[in-house]
Structure 1
Amino acid sequence: MAHDLRPSHGGEGPPLPTARGRVSAAVEEYLRGAGPPPRHEDVADTAVYGDDLQLALYLCYELHYRGFAGVPETHEWDPDLLRLRAALEHRFLTALRADAPTHDSVEDALADLLVEPVDGSGVSHYLCAEGELWQLREYAAQRSLYHLKEADPHAWVLPRLWGRAKAGMAAVEFDEYGGGRPDRVHARLFADLMTDLGLDPAYGRYLDEATAEALATVNLMSLLGLHRALRGALVGHFATVEITSSPASRRLAEAMRRTGAGPAAEHFYDEHVEADAVHEQVVRHDVIGGLLAEEPHLAPDVAFGIDVTGHLEDRLADRLLGAWRTGRSSLRRPLRSEMPLTF
């Protein structure tokens, strides 16, 4: 069943979520026209990977996508919000540069991505081997923050590339957007997956449930995509996604089949097994190869994009697996069954 991915609140974006601290509360008040932006000292004192800062940054970034119900569209370029976003980004990027493991070269970083561990213990391995349906539902809810706008953050880099890199990137993005067929757009396929799992496919529906670790993975894409100076890191991030997607999608498709999640749930990941295996070659040889042929000085940035993506994905995996292995929900609040399962 195909879904209209427009928000379910008329022509507006989703409603603003519940604030998670002083900074995100002040951002929401400002967006509503009810107060000033957060104070500098509050931004400086907030935990960089915590719920409050990550939600505040997500709110700022979402203005560049679909926005929020009741928030004027002109806030996208509000000078006070842009200054706030810059302060939040500075804290986030500084922490990432300090905390992410580093490779000496792009070649070394890519080599590690291309080697599948024999005894893998990541999220897709867990879900494939022993995951339960309720855990697959939680995983989909967390990932919906990205997958319902799949490929959009990466599209920001297209005007910053040229030649072989631009052509390769555009080719992959064309596939992500369904190859010209609206029913094949990957975000729509994910909405169908959510319906199979009894989840609400409305854009932004699970923002309140998503953890800081999940927010950080999406914030990273927006951070890298919106800054021309970080175009190399965005390409590194994109390479990580495409190289690791095919084997992980194979395991997730098997998890969907094993648990009887439904045909659309299986299809979303089956689609990525084949498509991303092809995309991997294009990204490595054309996008990265083309970029570094034109701008070899960006090699450290490409490696950084690979490394920091792995760092944040590892943090999310620790959150998910730490909860699931002890029988607890990984979400900020457990899901309720909102739609009848379709299988």
Structure 2
Amino acid sequence: MRLPKPRGPVSAALVEGLGRTTPLAAPAASSTDAVVHDDDLQLALWICYEMHYRGFDGVDDAWEWEPSLIALRRTLEERWLAGLRRLVPPVEVEPDRVPAALAELVAADDGPPLAGFLQREATREQFREFVALRSVYHLKEADPHSWAIPRLEGAPKAALVEIQTDEYGGGRVERMHSELFRDVMRALDLDDTYGRYVDDASAVTLAVTNTISLFGLRREFAGALIGHLASFEMTSSLPNRRYGNGLRRLGGDATATRFYDEHVEADAVHEQIAAHDLCGGYAKQHPEAAADILFGAACGLAVEAEFGRDLLDRWAGNPLPRTA
């Protein structure tokens, strides 16, 4: 994958620096409260995180743990964490109530009606744009959450592996969810190359993946990471049913819609495993992490809601101004 085009002074300094062998000397991030929509910050953070996944063409793999890159990443992360904490107020919960609290959080979620719009009204071009943007995450689906596996033990670890085994197709490449998403892209005449649409992705599109990478790469946020996964699984079945129906309305065949249809069935099972066995079990082992689990879940819901709102606003002709 090629390095993305910069969107501001921080991402520009980062992209330029990764082409050299000397330590980074990136400028300080700009000051803004709307970090979820800050193109420069989200792109720079996404580039830093991508060094822990597949990296970039022409960039030495040794950059992954270059101290100056990690220092920049930590600076950006602290600003992103502050933004997430503004989006999501603190939640206190008793450890034995974690599964019930997750269910209450999901039930109270009133995110934008993106799935309904895609089911009933979206044009083919709008659906193509949605799929292209989601490819930033779905072409590495499950990878960010898998960072939690070595950080768990006992029943919660077994629960996460059970979920992830389905995500990776039970060992069959053609059933891996990332590969099923490629079928969606091909059906819509999109380029399924990993990272192809990063330059087209809005800040909040990048923020969706950045949130999971933040929780996944920092062991202190193991509770937030599994909470994020739980909210993801607990809110997946109905939207995916609508996405699949919307794609069928636009002429998609069984191969094109299989990614969405698979999630309708699989995530109905996963949501119980995630809430009770994974998060509930982890909270019993680590009572001090109960609030972190709810924080991660709430962050997932809040950032997804911002993504849907941003996309619907742009389609309605009312785009948010970029903050690069």
Q: Which runs of 4+ in 1 moved over 2 A?
A: 34-40, 44-49, 101-110, 114-117, 261-265
Partner AA of 1:24 in structure 2? S
1:306 equivalent in structure 2: 297
Distance 1:309 1:129 in 2: 25
Distance 1:77 1:206 in 2: 26
Per mean C-alpha deviation after superposition, the further-off stretch among 59-68 and 107-116 is 107-116
Q: Is the 8 A contact 2:112 2:309 kept in 1?
A: no
Q: Of the candidates 259, 272, 285, which is equivalent to residue 268 of structure 1?
A: 259
Correspondences of 1:199-218 after superposition (within 5 Å): 199-218=190-209
Q: Of the candidates 124, 127, 148, which is equivalent to residue 133 of structure 1?
A: 124
- Hey, which of these two has a bigger chunk of helix by percent? 2
1:20 equivalent in structure 2: 7
Distance 1:69 1:39 in 2: 21
Q: How far is 1:231 from its partner?
A: 0.4
Consecutive unaligned residues of structure 1, counting only runs of 5 or more, are 1-13, 333-343
1:98 and 1:38, CA in 2 relative to 1: closer, same or farther beyond 3 A? Answer: farther
Q: Is the 8 A contact 1:103 1:109 kept in 2?
A: no
Q: Of the candidates 113, 130, 135, which is equivalent to residue 106 of structure 2?
A: 113
Instruction: Please give the secondary structure, in 1, of the residue aligned with 2:200.
Output: coil
Q: Is the 8 A contact 1:29 1:35 kept in 2?
A: no
Q: Is the 8 A contact 2:26 2:72 kept in 1?
A: no
Q: Of the candidates 28, 45, 65, which is equivalent to residue 31 of structure 2?
A: 45
Correspondences of 1:39-78 after superposition (within 5 Å): 39-40=26-27, 42-45=28-31, 48-49=35-36, 50-78=38-66
Per mean C-alpha deviation after superposition, the further-off stretch among 258-267 and 302-311 is 258-267
1:20 and 1:37, CA in 2 relative to 1: closer, same or farther beyond 3 A? Answer: same
Distance 2:200 2:78 in 1: 26
1:321 and 1:102, CA in 2 relative to 1: closer, same or farther beyond 3 A? Answer: farther
1:309 and 1:116, CA in 2 relative to 1: closer, same or farther beyond 3 A? Answer: closer
Partner AA of 1:287 in structure 2? L
Q: How far is 1:121 from its partner?
A: 4.7
Q: Sequence identity of aligned pairs in percent?
A: 46
1:109 and 1:283, CA in 2 relative to 1: closer, same or farther beyond 3 A? Answer: closer
Partner AA of 2:101 in structure 1? D
Q: Is the 8 A contact 1:29 1:36 kept in 2?
A: no
Distance 1:281 1:115 in 2: 18
Q: How far is 1:113 from its partner?
A: 1.0
Distance 2:251 2:201 in 1: 24
Aligned length: 314
Distance 1:288 1:184 in 2: 26
2:142 equivalent in structure 1: 151
Distance 2:126 2:91 in 1: 33
Distance 1:225 1:259 in 2: 36
Q: How far is 1:97 from its partner?
A: 1.1
Higher relative contact order (CA 8 A, sep 6+): 2
Q: Deviations along 1:146-178, whole A, 9 cap, x unmatched?
A: 100000000001111111100000010011000
Partner AA of 1:173 in structure 2? Q
Q: How far is 1:215 from its partner?
A: 0.3
Distance 1:199 1:262 in 2: 16
Q: How far is 1:198 from its partner?
A: 0.7
Could you tell me the TM-score, scaled by structure 2's length? 0.92
Q: How far is 1:38 from its partner?
A: 4.5
1:121 and 1:329, CA in 2 relative to 1: closer, same or farther beyond 3 A? Answer: closer
Q: How far is 1:110 from its partner?
A: 2.5
Distance 1:121 1:89 in 2: 26
Q: Deviations along 1:70-100, whole A, 9 cap, x unmatched?
A: 0011111111100110000011001211222
Could you tell me the TM-score, scaled by structure 1's length? 0.87
Distance 1:264 1:208 in 2: 28
Instruction: Please give the secondary structure, in 2, of the residue aligned with 1:43.
Output: coil
Distance 1:323 1:43 in 2: 26
Partner AA of 2:261 in structure 1? D
Correspondences of 1:1-343 after superposition (within 5 Å): 14-33=1-20, 37-40=24-27, 42-45=28-31, 48-49=35-36, 50-105=38-93, 106=98, 107-114=100-107, 121-326=112-317
Cα RMSD after superposing both structures: 2.0
1:177 and 1:170, CA in 2 relative to 1: closer, same or farther beyond 3 A? Answer: same
Partner AA of 1:32 in structure 2? G
Distance 2:21 2:122 in 1: 44
Partner AA of 1:299 in structure 2? A
Partner AA of 1:175 in structure 2? D
Q: How far is 1:261 from its partner?
A: 2.9
Instruction: Please give the secondary structure, in 2, of the residue aligned with 1:208.
Output: helix
Partner AA of 1:185 in structure 2? M
Distance 2:35 2:24 in 1: 18
Q: Is the 8 A contact 1:114 1:243 kept in 2?
A: no
Q: Is the 8 A contact 2:186 2:192 kept in 1?
A: yes
Partner AA of 1:27 in structure 2? L
